Structure 1
Amino acid sequence: MDVLVVGAGNVGRWFAALADAPVAFADVDDERAAAAAEAHDGRARTVPLDAEESFGLVAIAVPMRVAEAAIEAHASKAQQAVVDFTGAMEQPLRAMATVAPARERVSFHPLFAPEHGPGRIAVSSSTPGPATDRVRKWLEAAGNDLVDVEPEDHDDAMATIQGRAHAAVLAFALAADDVPEELATPVYESLSDLAERVTDGNAGVYADIQDAFGGADEVAAAARRLADAEDFAEVYEDARR
């Protein structure tokens, strides 16, 4: 089963490295696709985005904001299955069902950046089959733990797990002043480490998460509640719960 990876960024390269199959990369940036193929130990090639060639498996690994468009453009090239690694699940699966209704369709979301793998991967299986089962085996063989979830449950959870968590960390980074290291407390050090990790990433990824799942408004409202609290203990107890 040959594989077309649409998107030659970090996630696309990560998946291609795990796939035990011939791989072709397609990307809006031809040079990025070529670099991904070259780094793939000679087992990969590139194809133009508008190529009409078909593949056993089509894997969509693009930013969430263009996931639906990428699926609409490329899912029909799948002979057996189409999967995505975009980070959301409901919208991609709906698009897959529209464009490739007769194909196996599964959404995967690595709950980590590729450089921090292996780890947990959320999986929503709309119409699984032999081809997507092979994908699961590739991911598990690399040491990842697969967690099956309904697409709506996944997307609802990401509003807190990603959207609000990232917004809270970035808000701390924006509000913090430089302080002497010798005065740092454990809580401050933990938050500083998180802020460093988040701000060392790709701003576009975090922007897409805020656009898809929200988070900043809820964190701002919570901070305002703290700032305006007449009974701080009551707010503290709400946070504890």
Structure 2
Amino acid sequence: MDVLIVGAGSMGTWFGDAIDARVSFADVDGDAAAAAAERVDGSVADLEGGRTYDVVCLAVPMAHVTGAIAEQADRAERAIVDVSGVMEPALEAMERHAPDLERVSLHPLFAPERAPGSIAVVRDRSGPATDDLLASLAARGNELLETTAADHDEAMETVQAATHAAVLSFALAAESVPDGFETPIYEELRRLARQVTAGTPRVYADIQATFDGADAVADAAADIAAADSEELEALYREAAANWHGGSDADERDADDGETDRDESGGDAA
């Protein structure tokens, strides 16, 4: 099977390496296409027109996936897929521009260097070509998570947009502290802040532009900042109910290294 991968970044390179097929890369950056082809023993293809392929995979930023599908769909003979990370717009564009082809949207829920991992999969119009590709991904140790485009995109509002907004907000608001003052929660947030800020800014900007979620984080932070003691306790209980099935957080001892106040007003040991 011949596969054209449009987009020779880290995700496109990962996909080319993870499938069992003859792979060609096309990219606006010719050097990137050549590097990706060399890494997976593939070849370089013309970005604008040229030969057709059994499968065309769009591995472009989510902000550009619908345009790329419109431009590249006629180069696919059997199937068109994407790994952009947003599913409803991508699949709508596939159906519009490739109504007779197999259509699958994939979202690897990990950075390429952390592969294998879970891959969200929507089989909008499956068939033998896409079944073979998915079997290749599963054979490499990836877990295929079958879903719908609507469920995926709604989940990404929390899993990506809200999560990234919370971590980036901490990274912007936090100040340096003397060595030895770290708590386990702070240590974990510091680790996450370093991990997120080591990434590609455009990727995080695209996620915020595509999915809602940041506003909810901002609203929650504003509520916390404006709350008095009783209101903050109520917000704490609401948060605990979201994550602990309604158990009363005040009845549990802290196990995260933070300090609780005892009844005398002193710090618990």
Aligned match of 1:233: 233
**Secondary structure, in 3 states, of the residue corresponding to 1:221?**
helix
**Alignment map for 1:1-241 (pairs within 5 Å):** 1-40=1-40, 43-230=41-228, 231-241=231-241
- Runs (4+) off by over 3 Å: none
- In the TM superposition, what is the alpha-carbon distance from 1:37 to its structure 2 partner? 1.1
Residues 143-194 of structure 1 deviation map (CA, whole Å, 9 limit, x = unaligned): 1101000100100010000000000000001111111231110000111111
Residues 84-124 of structure 1 deviation map (CA, whole Å, 9 limit, x = unaligned): 00001000000000110000000000001101111110001
Pairs aligned (count): 239
Gapped regions of structure 2 (runs ≥ 5): 242-269
TM normalised by structure 1 equals 0.97
Q: How many angstroms apart in 2 are the aligned matches of 1:181 and 1:95?
A: 52
Residues 219-240 of structure 1 deviation map (CA, whole Å, 9 limit, x = unaligned): 1111000011131111111111
Q: How many angstroms apart in 2 are the aligned matches of 1:102 and 1:199?
A: 42
**Secondary structure, in 3 states, of the residue corresponding to 1:50?**
coil
Q: How many angstroms apart in 1 are the aligned matches of 2:66 and 2:15?
A: 19
- In the TM superposition, what is the alpha-carbon distance from 1:54 to its structure 2 partner? 0.5
**Secondary structure, in 3 states, of the residue corresponding to 1:181?**
coil
8 Å CA contact retained: 2:105, 2:121: yes
Q: CA RMSD in A?
A: 0.9
- Structure with bigger gyration radius: 2
Gapped regions of structure 1 (runs ≥ 5): none
- In the TM superposition, what is the alpha-carbon distance from 1:214 to its structure 2 partner? 2.6
**Secondary structure, in 3 states, of the residue corresponding to 1:25?**
strand
Q: How many angstroms apart in 2 are the aligned matches of 1:135 and 1:52?
A: 23
TM normalised by structure 2 equals 0.87
8 Å CA contact retained: 2:49, 2:75: no
Q: Percent of counterpart pairs with the same letter? A: 50
